[in-house]
Amino acid sequence: MVSSMSVFMDRPTGRVLVTGALGQIGTELVEELRQKYGYEAVIATDIRKAEGCQILDVMDKKAINTLVVEQEITEIYHLAALLSATGERNPELCWNINVVGLENVIAAAKENNARLFSPSSIAVFGPDCPKIAPQKTPLNPTTVYGKTKVVGEQLALTSGIDMRGIRYPGLISYKAPAGGGTTDYAVEIFHNALENGHYECFVREDTKLPMMYMDDAIRATIELMDVPFDKLSESRGGYNIAGCSFTARELVTSIQRHLPDFTCSFHPDIRQKYADSWPDEIEDTVASDEWGWSPRFDLDRIVDEMITNLKKK
The catalytic residues are: 145
Query: Smallest distance from the beta carbon of 5 to ligand NAD, in angstroms?
Result: 29
**Residue 65, Cα to own-chain centre: how many angstroms?**
23
Would you give the DSSP letter of residue 12?
A: P
Considering only residues 113, 121, 159, 235, which one is a binding residue for ligand AKB as defined by CB under 6 A? 121
Report yes or no: 210 and 282 within 8 Å, Cβ to Cβ: yes
Any contact of residue 240 with ligand AKB (CB under 6 A)? no
Considering only residues 12, 23, 210, 243, which one is a binding residue for ligand NAD as defined by CB under 6 A? 23
Considering only residues 58, 105, 242, 299, which one is a binding residue for ligand NAD as defined by CB under 6 A? 58
Instruction: Using the rule CB under 6 A, give the single segment among 22-30, 34-42, 195-203, 301-309 that binds ligand NAD.
Output: 22-30
Provide the 10 A C-beta neighbour count for residue 14: 15
In the bound state with ligand NAD, the residue whose beta carbon lies nearer, of 7 and 224, is 224
Any contact of residue 59 with ligand NAD (CB under 6 A)? yes
In the bound state with ligand AKB, the residue whose beta carbon lies nearer, of 12 and 152, is 152
d(CA 29, CA 214): 9
* DSSP of 60-74: -HHHHHHHHHHTTEE
Instruction: Looking at residues 100 to 159 of the shown chain, list those that interact with ligand NAD (rule: CB under 6 A).
Output: 101, 119, 121
Report yes or no: 139 and 126 within 8 Å, Cβ to Cβ: yes
Report yes or no: 66 and 17 within 8 Å, Cβ to Cβ: no
Q: What are phi and psi of 60, to 5 degrees?
A: -95, 90
Report yes or no: 256 and 262 within 8 Å, Cβ to Cβ: yes
In the bound state with ligand AKB, the residue whose beta carbon lies nearer, of 159 and 183, is 183
Query: Smallest distance from the beta carbon of 296 to ligand AKB, in angstroms?
Result: 20
d(CA 274, CA 127): 10
In the bound state with ligand AKB, the residue whose beta carbon lies nearer, of 58 and 68, is 58
Residues contacting ligand AKB: total by CB under 6 A: 9
* All residues at 6 or more sequence positions from 68 whose CB lies less than 8 Å from its CB, including other chains: 17, 76, 108, 109, 111, 112, 114
d(CA 31, CA 218): 10
Any contact of residue 181 with ligand AKB (CB under 6 A)? yes
Binding mask 198-237 toward ligand AKB (x if CB under 6 A, else -) reads: ----------------------------------------
Instruction: Looking at residues 181 to 210 of the shown chain, list those that interact with ligand NAD (rule: CB under 6 A).
Output: 181, 183
Q: Which helix (H) or strand (E) holds 172?
A: strand 170-172
Query: Smallest distance from the beta carbon of 277 to ligand NAD, in angstroms?
Result: 14
Query: Smallest distance from the beta carbon of 269 to ligand NAD, in angstroms?
Result: 18
Would you give the DSSP letter of residue 196?
A: T
d(CA 205, CA 191): 18
Report yes or no: 142 and 277 within 8 Å, Cβ to Cβ: yes
Instruction: Looking at residues 123 to 142 of the shown chain, list those that interact with ligand AKB (rule: CB under 6 A).
Output: 123
Considering only residues 16, 17, 22, 156, which one is a binding residue for ligand NAD as defined by CB under 6 A? 22
d(CA 256, CA 196): 14
Report yes or no: 155 and 163 within 8 Å, Cβ to Cβ: yes
Report yes or no: 255 and 189 within 8 Å, Cβ to Cβ: yes
Considering only residues 83, 105, 299, 306, which one is a binding residue for ligand NAD as defined by CB under 6 A? 83
Any contact of residue 183 with ligand AKB (CB under 6 A)? yes
Residues of this chain that interact with ligand NAD (CB under 6 A) are 19-20, 22-26, 46-48, 56-59, 79-81, 83, 97, 101, 119, 121, 168, 170-171, 179-181, 183
Residues of this chain that interact with ligand AKB (CB under 6 A) are 83-84, 121-123, 170, 181-183
